[in-house]
Amino acid sequence: MLQTVGIIGSGMVGGAVARLAVAAGLDVVVSNSRGPETLADLVALLGERARAATVAEAALAGDLVVVAVPLKAYDRLPVAELAGKTVIDAMNYYPDRDGGLAELEAGGLTSSALVQRRLAGARVVKAFNNIDFRRLFTSARPAGAPDRSALPVAGDDGSAKAEAIALLDVLGYDAVDIGTLADSRFSQPGTPVHVQPYMGERPEGLGQEDAQRWFFETPGIPVPAAQVKQLVDAAR
C-alpha cells in the first residue's frame, strides 16, 4: 500500500506533487542536489507529513519515487537506492537547458528510455511531464468530479504503470495509458497534449509582468481522458 512518496527534485513540479500528496494524506520525503538543510521552508509549508532528506535517502524511503530534476542530471540519479522501485519520470528534454544529449538528438530514444537505461533495476513510468506546475496543483479534483482532468502515462512495466495510475488518482487526476516508454514521445514538449490544453491560449500583447500574472492567476482548463486520447492520437 502506498504510504510514502519520495521526491527527487524540490522545484516547481516536485513541490506541486509534494503538496498534492500531503493534501491526500500521504507522507513525503523531499530532496534536492543542495542538501536537506535547504528545504526547511518547503517542509514547513508541507507540514508534519513531510521531511527533508538526501537524494539517496528519499529514494530509499519512498514506496514510489517521483523524479523532477533537469534531465541533464539524470546520470546522477542513485542507481542502487532506486533498484526495485517504481520511478515516475516527470522530466522533459530541453536541449537549450540540458545540452545536446547525443542519444536523444539521434531521435531513436525517448528521454524516459534513457532514464530507464540508467536505472536498469527500477521500473520507470513517464507522467507529470505534460502539464505546467501551476495547473498541476490547481487542476486536481476528486474522483468523479465533472471537471476532473486526465494525464498521460507511459511505461514498459504494467504493474509499475498501475502504481503510477493509482497515485494520479489519489492526487486528483484520471490517467490515460498511452503505451510504452517509446510511446512517451507523444507527450513530450511540442506535442498536442503538452501543457497548452490545460492552460489555454495566453492573450496576445501582454507585457512580462502581465504575462506572469496571467500565468499564476489563470485557472486550468479541464482536459478529460477522451480529449487526452484524441491529442495523443493526433501526435501519432
Cell of 22: 500531503
Determine the pLDDT at residue 16: 97
With cut-offs at 50, 70 and 90, classify the pLDDT of residue 95.
confident
Q: Mean pLDDT over residues 47-57, rounded? A: 97
Instruction: Please give the Cα distance from 150 to 170 (Å, whole number).
Output: 12
Check residue 217 and give left, alpha or beta (phi > 0: left; psi -120 to 50: alpha). Answer: alpha
pLDDT at 106 over 90: no
pLDDT at 102 over 80: no
pLDDT at 118 over 90: yes
Taking the model in full, what pTM does it have? 0.94
Check residue 180 and give left, alpha or beta (phi > 0: left; psi -120 to 50: alpha). Answer: beta
Determine the pLDDT at residue 104: 84
Instruction: Kindly list the structural domains of the chain, giving each domain's residue range(s) and its CATH number in brackets, ordered by start.
Output: 4-235 (3.40.50.720)
Determine the pLDDT at residue 108: 82
CA 224 from centroid of its chain's CA atoms: 18
